A and B are shown apart, each in its own frame.
Chain A
Amino acid sequence: MNNLNELRAKCKEIYKQKLSRPRVVVGLGTCGIASGGDKVMAAIKKEVEARGLDVDVDFTSCIGMCYREPMVEVALPGAASVVYGDIFPDKVAQLLESHIVNKKPVYEWAAIQIPGEATPYEGIDIMEQSSYYGKQVRSVTSRLGRTNPEKIEEYIATGGYEGIEKCLQMERQAIIDEIKKSGLRGRGGGGFPTGNKWQFVYNTPGEKKYAVCNADEGDPGAFMDRSVLEGDPHSVLEGMMIAGLAIGADEGYIYCRAEYPLAIRRLNLAIAEAEKHGILGDKILGSNFSFRIKIKAGAGAFVCGEETALLNSIEGQRGMPRVRPPFPAISGLWAKPTCLNNVETYANVPFIIRKGADWYASMGTEKSKGSKVFCLTGKINNTGLAEVPMGITLREVIFNIAGGIQDGKKFKAVQSGGPSGGCLPEEKLDLSVDYDSLTAAGAIMGSGGLVVMDETTCMVDVAKFFLNFTQLESCGKCTPCREGTKRMLELLQKICDGKGELKDLDTLERLAKVIKSSALCGLGQTCPNPVLTTLRYFRKEYEAHIVDKRCPAGVCAALLCYVVVAEKCTGCGACLRACPAGAITGEKKEPHSIDTSKCIKCGACMTKCKFDAIIKA
């Protein structure tokens, strides 16, 4: 068997060369590009050329601080790397002038620094000690924002493909044992022990087997898998290869949603590069193991994230879940034994093999080992990607890493696990983030989306939002999910419209119970969770809508009434001009008034009023 020693030495040399040169690196993940990263890139190239600077211009993926995009890293040989945030094209000239030409960082724009072996700059947070990264671990995300995801050399130079190289020397059962020992559980949300799943596929007789990667990340507010695919595509390929080797598969599919064009592009590139170097394809590294990976772009159905619907979709069928059992490990893609894991699960595998199961199991709690990547979104200061050790508390994630609630408002709830998850209130903030604790509280770990809500969020409205989502995305196959979510949604709408009755809450609970117990697939069985948890923790808010005909958060339009506080109104007329419905009247310099029968409750008057004279009542 061949080894990668020679190639690795070459890659390390190339990578070392890169690090020894002055360089400017732009974060070009989807978040960076959406914030204008490509324009920043163009501006940097133009500036470098115009000034004739001796500096390399490169790109990387998202480092995780999405709230500071576009981000630009500037590094000089022998000095700490500085990662700047909110760098728009108009800041480029000054940034290069100061940091490259005058060798002085622009302190006020710096987000973090990564000193490496160099002396840190004073006055810039060191990454590992910063408020955002201090409580994080960087394992699956270690290359994100640090290497160029389109260069296989950088993957190999940083330990990439050591895992498969090592596994090719191991007994297949020993690979599975190592994964079992690590305690890795499915990161797609289910939390099934990965090693056990591999064992089932291994044990199932069959000439042909498949390793399939679920990259159909569809939860609102979730982008963990996208970030990993865009930032470290080779780690997913390597994880799949190791799985393929262990279970006896020679073919793999990555089912990636078409809404992730950059991830698909980088995956295709990674596959081509790996094949070019003989790491992927026939007789890998001269061994008897052959493995090929194909990409199937999903057509936009949320339900295709459900494993059996995903398999149907790859086969060209309509994405509708199949009855389990048989589980995919027994009869999966084209009825062959199939190992199905999600992106983050596969991406963890090379690290576990390289660093050992004990290292991995040393992180986390007794039953939830390792780290988990979360997407922090909602009404928090720091939205972005965070990899944390299992067992961290929600409070630490929300108030330390995510920087607490925006505009000093009050925390109200955190939604974990997307449409299948639940909303947890303040008293659950000290809950340990692990599979079992979250499930016990009525939420689920899910794939890692955390949506944080503040006091201006109406929990009935939130439940309605998620039910609307699941209703639209229900495949329509089974009765409880197709028809039941529709009626739940109608009941929630009725409550938001101020027409609810207390017995509607009982009906909601009954429907939720029946849908959970009798729906065919995971989507249906979990979709009542947002309603059940909001009813469990925020029942008073439902009752306020029903009994008092009041939306405490001031969100549900039908229950709102905009009124003018006469004492504060100066009669400036700004509200009158802003009102699209002609509902406001009043003489100049006299207090105005709102005709509630004409008011469409758009809130334009309140936004325009400079004197806080219009309030929601």
Chain B
Amino acid sequence: MVATVTLTIDGIQVTVPKGTTVLEAAESVGIFIPTFCHDPELSKPGACRICVVEIPGARNLPASCVTEATEGMVVYTASDAVIEARKTNLELLLANHPDDCLTCHKNGECRLQEYAYYYGVRADAFPGEKHQYPIEDDNPFIVRDMNKCILCGKCVRMCQEIQGNNVIDFAYRGFNAIVTPAMNTTYSDTDISNCVFCGNCVSVCPVGALSEKAMLGMGRRWEMKKVTTTCPYCGVGCSFDLNVKDGKVVGVTSTDGDVNGRALCVKGRFGYGFIHHPDRLKTPLIKKDGKLVEATWDEAIALVAEKMGAVKEQYGGETIGLISSARCTNEENYLMNKLGRVVLGTNSIDHCARL
């Protein structure tokens, strides 16, 4: 029997297991609380303060993401004080953020934009200094625009806690605080940075500070059809979303996979260039007079069956060996196994992942 607590959020009684946060309790009954730095998969820094709520008796407005629900607690998620704090903090973030939603690739999928719209906050409350950092795009995979960063630190925690690479952390203080690899270098400076370009930092960025380089300019977020599929590169079987526009794959983004969560590797996330590559083989080729000539699948399979059949006839099935691929699905590998043992009559079958 799990111990529970009952609290009242915006007048609604909620019973949750002990240890649940106020944010989780509110979400469980469909009450909206905005968050930037919170992520259920990562540790909880309680940093961005956008999720503050009012709890009578508390000294200040506590962050709901790190406040444990207790028995009898009363919570207001949209009191005047809460809304004032959220709006002001949004204004503060926007005051130091480029006003370029028109061309930002995150347009339509940006939390800052979403909350600014929700709370009716404009970007001009505090005219003042804005950061003018150079945009980092000296690598083939990830573009970092720290002018857009709201310092939620999710990328830092993703890199530390999920990827385990510890490439980035906060540096400097006050207004000049920034997320950066050590010595304020770039991801691609391999003398210092041990970035493997998995792009998992990109997957958690709530704004346009981190982006997939190859997806820039390839389409707005709402134009992309997301097709969830399994990565063909290795046997782990990570899930991800192919982003398809006009019948073309224009990028890969994380989905919440059973196997991998949102984590992907550099190949899975960025290695999709072969799909529409001009050198890619799209039909089987049959060598005729020393030259490879395009053929249909029927022609090719018939030819292979004929030749294999001849070898089996003359020398016996056990003289044939098969090597399968880790890039095939389990089902495909199973069929390969059936083909070898049942149809061809050979036990000589192996798989590239073992080599």
Q: A and B from one assembly?
A: yes
Asked whether B350 is an interface residue with its Cβ less than 8 Å from the other chain, the reply is no
By the criterion CB–CB under 8 Å, are A483 and B46 in contact? no
- A323 close to B (CB within 8 Å): yes
Task: Identify which of B45, B81, B89, B126 contacts A323 (C-beta below 8 A).
Answer: B45
Which of B167-175, B188-196, B240-248, B281-289 contacts the other chain?
Answer: B167-175
Which of the residues A475, A477, A514 comes within 8 Å of B88, measured between beta carbons?
A: A514
CB within 8 Å of B: which A469-500 residues: 471-480, 482-487, 490
Interface 1/0s, chain A 575-586, versus B by CB < 8 A?
Answer: 000000000000
Q: Which of A476, A511, A517 contacts B173 (CB 8 A)?
A: A476
Minimum-distance CB pairs A-B, first 6: A476-B177, A483-B92, A323-B46, A514-B88, A474-B174, A486-B175
Task: Provide the main secondary structure of the chain A interface.
Answer: helix
Q: Taking CB as reference atom, which chain A residue is nearest B48?
A: A479
The reply to whether the CB of B78 lies closer than 8 angstroms to some CB of chain A is no
Cβ proximity bits B172-186 to A, threshold 8 Å, 1 near / 0 not = 111111000000000
Q: How far is the CB of A8 from the nearest CB of chain B, in Å? A: 47
Q: How many chain-A residues does the 8 Å CB contact rule pick out? A: 33
The residues of A that contact B66 with a CB separation of less than 8 Å are: 323
Nearest neighbor of A484 in chain B, beta-carbon distance: B92
Q: Cα distance A538–B269 when bound, in Å?
A: 59
Q: Taking CB as reference atom, which chain B residue is nearest A325?
A: B68
Which single member of B68, B85, B129 contacts A514 (CB below 8 Å)? B85
Contact of A518 among B89, B173, B177 (CB under 8 A): B89
B residues at A contact (CB < 8 Å):
44-50, 52, 60-61, 63, 66, 68, 81, 84-85, 88-89, 92-93, 95-96, 126, 128-129, 150-151, 153, 169-170, 172-177
The yes or no answer to A520 lying at the interface (CB within 8 A) is: yes
CB atoms of A323 and B60 under 8 A apart: no
Complex contact A485–B174 (CB within 8 A): yes
Is the CB–CB distance between B49 and A476 below 8 Å?
no
A320 to chain B, nearest CB (A): 7
Contacting residue for B89 out of A486, A513, A514, CB 8 A: A514
Q: A474-B174, A482-B177 are in contact. Are A517 and B93 (CB under 8 A)?
A: no
Given A477-B177, A480-B49, A518-B85; 18 other pairs, CB 8 A cutoff? A301-B173, A303-B173, A318-B170, A320-B170, A323-B63, A476-B173, A476-B174, A478-B48, A479-B150, A483-B92, A484-B89, A485-B175, A487-B126, A511-B88, A514-B84, A517-B81, A520-B46, A520-B47
Least distance between A467 CB and chain B CB atoms (Å): 11
A485–B126 alpha-carbon span in the complex (Å): 12
Residues of B within 8 A of A529 (CB): none
In Å, the complex CA distance between A496 and B312 comes to 94
How far is A441 from B140 in the complex, measured between Cα atoms in Å? 59
A510 interface residue (CB < 8 Å to B): yes
Closest residue on chain B to residue A323 by CB atoms:
B46
Complex contact A486–B174 (CB within 8 A): yes
CB closest chain-B residue, reference A319: B173
A398 at the interface (CB under 8 A from B): no
8 pairs of residues in contact across A and B, judged by CB atoms under 8 Å: A323-B44, A476-B175, A476-B177, A479-B50, A479-B150, A482-B151, A482-B177, A514-B85
Docked CA distance A485–B170 (Å)? 19
B89 touches A477 (CB 8 A): no
> How far is A320 from B173 in the complex, measured between Cα atoms in Å?
10
Counting CB contacts under 8 A, is A592 at the interface?
A: no
Please tell me if the beta carbons of A483 and B170 are within 8 angstroms of each other in the complex. no
Q: Which residues from chain A sit less than 8 Å from chain B, CB to CB?
A: 301, 303, 318, 320, 323, 325, 471-480, 482-487, 490, 510-511, 513-514, 516-520, 525
B86's nearest neighbour on chain A, judged by CB, is A518
Q: Could you tell me if A486 and B128 are in contact, using CB atoms closer than 8 angstroms?
A: yes
Contact A476 B172 (CB under 8 A): yes
> How far is B45's CA from A318's CA once the two chains are assembled, in angstroms?
13
Q: Which of A476, A485, A516 gathers the greatest number of chain B CB atoms within 10 Å?
A: A476
B residues near A478, Cβ cutoff 8 Å: 46-49
Known: A483-B92, A518-B85. A472 touches B174 (CB 8 A): yes
Q: Is the CB of B60 within 8 A of A477?
A: no
Instruction: Please indicate the chain B residues that have their CB under 8 angstroms from the CB of A519 in the complex.
Output: 49, 60
Determine the chain A residues whose CB is within 8 A of the CB of B129 once the complex forms. 486, 490
Q: How far is the CB of A468 from chain B (nearest CB, A)?
A: 10
Residues of A within 8 Å of B177, CB to CB, are 474-477, 482
Q: A477-B47, A514-B85 are in contact. Are A487 and B174 (CB under 8 A)?
A: no
Q: Distance in Å from the Cβ of A2 to the closest Cβ of chain B? A: 48
Q: A323-B66, A474-B173, A476-B173 are in contact. Are A483 and B93 (CB under 8 A)?
A: yes
Minimum distance in angstroms from B124 CB to a CB of chain A: 12
Inter-chain contacts of A518 with B (CB < 8 A): 49, 52, 60-61, 85, 89
Contact A516 B173 (CB under 8 A): no
Contact B174 A482 (CB under 8 A): yes
Docked CA distance A472–B174 (Å):
5
Complex interface: chain B residues within 8 A of A487 (CB)? 92, 95, 126, 128
Question: Once the chains are docked, how many angstroms separate the CA of A477 from the CA of B92?
Answer: 14
Nearest to B54 among chain A residues (CB) is: A517
A419 to B126, CA, bound (A): 23
Determine how close the nearest CB of chain B comes to the CB of A470; give it in whole angstroms.
8
- Contact across chains for B88 and A510 when beta carbons are under 8 A apart: yes
Most buried by A among B47, B63, B173: B173
CA distance A520 to B150 in the complex (A): 16
CA distance A182 to B52 in the complex (A): 38
Q: Could you tell me if A477 and B170 are in contact, using CB atoms closer than 8 angstroms?
A: yes
How far is B173's CA from A485's CA once the two chains are assembled, in angstroms?
Answer: 12
Contact indicator A517/B85 (Cβ below 8 Å): yes
Contact at A490–B174, with CB atoms within 8 Å?
no
Residues of B within 8 A of A510 (CB): 84, 88
Known contacts A473-B174, A474-B174, A482-B174; is-contact A516 B88 (Cβ 8 Å): no
CB < 8 Å neighbour of A318 from B52, B61, B169: B169
Give the residue among A301, A471, A483, A487 with the most B Cβ atoms within 10 A.
A483
> In whole Å, how far is B296's beta carbon from the nearest beta carbon of chain A?
61
Looking at the assembled complex, report how far the CB atom of A469 sits from the nearest CB atom of chain B, in whole angstroms. Answer: 10
In the docked arrangement, what's the CA distance between A303 and B173, Å?
10
Q: State whether A525 and B84 are in contact (beta carbons under 8 Å apart), knowing that A477-B170, A487-B95, A518-B89 are contacts in the complex.
A: no
The listed residue (A301, A482, A511, A514) touching B175 by CB distance below 8 A is A482
Contacts A482-B174, A490-B128, A518-B49: A476 and B81 contacting too (C-beta < 8 A)?
Answer: no
Across-interface contacts of A323 in B (CB, < 8 A): 44-46, 63, 66
Report whether A516 and B60 are in contact in the complex, using a CB–CB cutoff of 8 Å: yes
Q: How far is the CA of A514 from the CA of B87 in the complex (A)?
A: 10
B110 CB to closest chain A CB (Å) equals 16
Of A325, A477, A483, which contacts B96 at CB under 8 A? A483
Docked CA distance A575–B151 (Å): 52
A510 vs B91: C-alpha distance when bound (angstroms): 12
Q: Which residues of A contact B60 (CB under 8 A)?
A: 516-519, 525
Min Cβ gap B75→A in Å is 15
Across the interface, do A476 and B151 meet the contact criterion of CB distance under 8 Å? yes
CA distance A11 to B230 in the complex (A): 79
Q: Min CB distance, A247 to chain B, in Å?
A: 25
Q: How far is the CB of A46 from chain B (nearest CB, A)?
A: 47
- On chain A, the residues within 8 Å of B50 by CB distance are 479
Min CB distance A32 to B, Å, is: 33
Cβ contacts under 8 Å, A517 to chain B: 52, 60-61, 81, 85
CB within 8 Å for A471 and B175 given contacts A486-B129, A487-B128: yes
CA distance A569 to B332 in the complex (A): 102
- Decide yes or no: A479 and B89 within 8 Å by CB, A486-B175, A518-B52 being known contacts: yes
Residues of B within 8 A of A301 (CB): 173
Closest to B52 in A: A518
